[in-house]
Amino acid sequence: MKSVLITGANRGIGLEHVRSFAAKGIQVFATARSPSQADELNALAASCAGQITVLQYEALDPDSPTQLKTALGDTPLDLLLANAGAGSGTRESFGDVDVDDVVQLIRINAVAPLKLAEALAGNIARSERKLIAFQSSQLGSIGNNTSGGRYGYRISKAALNMVAKGVSSDLGSRGVIVVALHPGWVKTRMGGAGAPVSVEQCIEGQHRLFDKLTMADSGRFFNYDGTQLPW
């Protein structure tokens, strides 16, 4: 790979992906909602002598994908890692689901990544690797849902999985590989200190997966360790 774009890159999994790709000599376009406040990301970019470009991207702003496309121009992107997303709402239990929370999560976790892929499809198709990866969650798997609850988050990630499947069909003729990913339950601010998967394990596993994916894998759902998950 020569160039990648990562959304939600100012902390957690996204930030570590930036660090890892940059260490491999890959040009990284890293987005944050408020670049001026992304202290860790800016410090990392400053230490990498132009290898990391920090760009603004707000998932809830319908104009943000177009603005990102304008900033990139025709730059080829070997990988679009749609990592930005929102966590669970406060009212997600059966009998106490907040409609506005659910709609907001769907907008951020499913519709925004779709619009991002639409805006940057040409950049991806122009590259050598041609890969789009949507950072989803096992909680969006219908086949693996045996516990119920967390309705808003589950619905939004199931919707994202449908986006991944649809985009894989729409961009298949252009040679673009599209997958949905489960990063694992990772030790981040969102995942908490008790999570069983380290950020390093997640990043290393996903990078190995990125390296081996082929068109035969497009439209599938993978765990961070490379195993396939049920929709």
Report the distance separating Cα 228 and Cα 211, nearest Å: 16
- For tokens 């673009």, the residue is 176
Q: What is the pTM of this model?
A: 0.94
Mean pLDDT by 10 residues, the chain (231 residues): 97 95 97 97 95 97 97 98 90 93 96 98 98 97 94 97 98 98 75 70 96 98 96 94
Cβ atoms 54, 30 nearer than 8 A = yes
**pLDDT digits over 203-224, tens only?**
999 999 999 999 999 999 999 9
pLDDT at 125: 98
pLDDT at 190: 57
- For tokens 């339950």, the residue is 185
Identity at 101, one-letter amino acid code: D
Pick the closest to residue 17 from 37, 41, 46 (CA basis).
41
Cβ atoms 177, 131 nearer than 8 A = yes
Cβ atoms 208, 24 nearer than 8 A = no
Question: 3-223 maps to which CATH number?
Answer: 3.40.50.720
* Pairs from 23-28 (Cβ < 8 Å, separation ≥ 24): 25/51, 26/1, 26/2, 26/51, 26/78, 27/2, 27/3, 27/51, 27/53, 28/3, 28/4, 28/52, 28/53
Report the distance separating Cα 89 and Cα 91, nearest Å: 6
Domain ranges of the chain: 3-223
The side-by-side arrangement of strands in the sheet containing 177-182 is 52-56, 27-32, 3-6, 79-82, 131-135, 177-182, 220-223
CA angle, corner 59, sides to 84 and 3, nearest 5? 55
Q: Taking the CB of residue 193, how many other CB atoms lie within 10 A of it?
A: 7
Report the distance separating Cα 204 and Cα 224, nearest Å: 8
**pLDDT digits over 74-105, tens only?**
999 999 999 999 988 778 899 999 999 999 99
- For tokens 């376009």, the residue is 29
Cβ atoms 138, 229 nearer than 8 A = yes
Report the distance separating Cα 84 and Cα 77, nearest Å: 17
